Amino acid sequence: MALIDPGKKAPAFALKDQDGKVHRLSDYQGKSVVLYFYPKDDTPGCTKESCDFRDNLLQFSRGKATVLGMSILDEKSKAKFAKKYDLNFPLLADADHAVAEKYGVWQKKMRYGRSYMGIVRTTYLIGPDGKVLRRWDKVSVDGHAAEVLAALP
């Protein structure tokens, strides 16, 4: 599927976080949601990005926004990652990459001349009405959380 453009309805989902709690996009109606897709738990870029969101979490909540991280692997992997880096927000387990596909971030990638399917680092800012306000493609992790914070409505 294609990436979701600003102005379009964000696809619904129901996924478990690192504590086994189910999160639905509809649970956050009336609030802004920062939904960031990262390739894999406990890898250098993903760790840096997640810790950056963690360090800015208070400012996001002041801006009436919820931060949700999402990647492949199961809740157990998410729990280990969250505990290791004190990540105090939901990390959603999209083990079968169905939600990543709905959001268009499950794409062909190249590494060391080998092609494979995986999550392309992408962030969506979803408005209180459930529509995409903004999308960041092929995210560079340095300063990304601050950039998203600045875009909050």
Which listed residue (33, 35, 46, 99) is catalytic? 46
pLDDT of residue 12: 97
Active-site residue flag, 46: yes
**Residue pair 14/93 in contact by the 8 Å Cβ criterion:** no
The HSE-up count of residue 50 (CA atoms within 13 Å, CB side) is 28
Q: What is the dihedral of CA 55, 58, 62, 66, to 10 degrees?
A: 70
Token reading at 141: 């992790």
Residues 54-90 have pLDDT tens digits of 999 999 999 899 999 999 999 999 999 999 999 999 9
42 in helix, strand or coil? coil
Residues 105-130 have pLDDT tens digits of 999 998 889 999 999 999 999 999 99
HEC per residue, 104-117: CCEEEEEECCEEEE
List Cα–Cα distances, 127 to 47, 80, 81, 136, in angstroms.
26, 30, 28, 15
Q: Give dist(CA 132, CA 147) in Å, integer.
A: 16
Interstrand relation of 106-111 and 114-119 (parallel, antiparallel or unpaired) = antiparallel
Residue-level length of the chain: 153
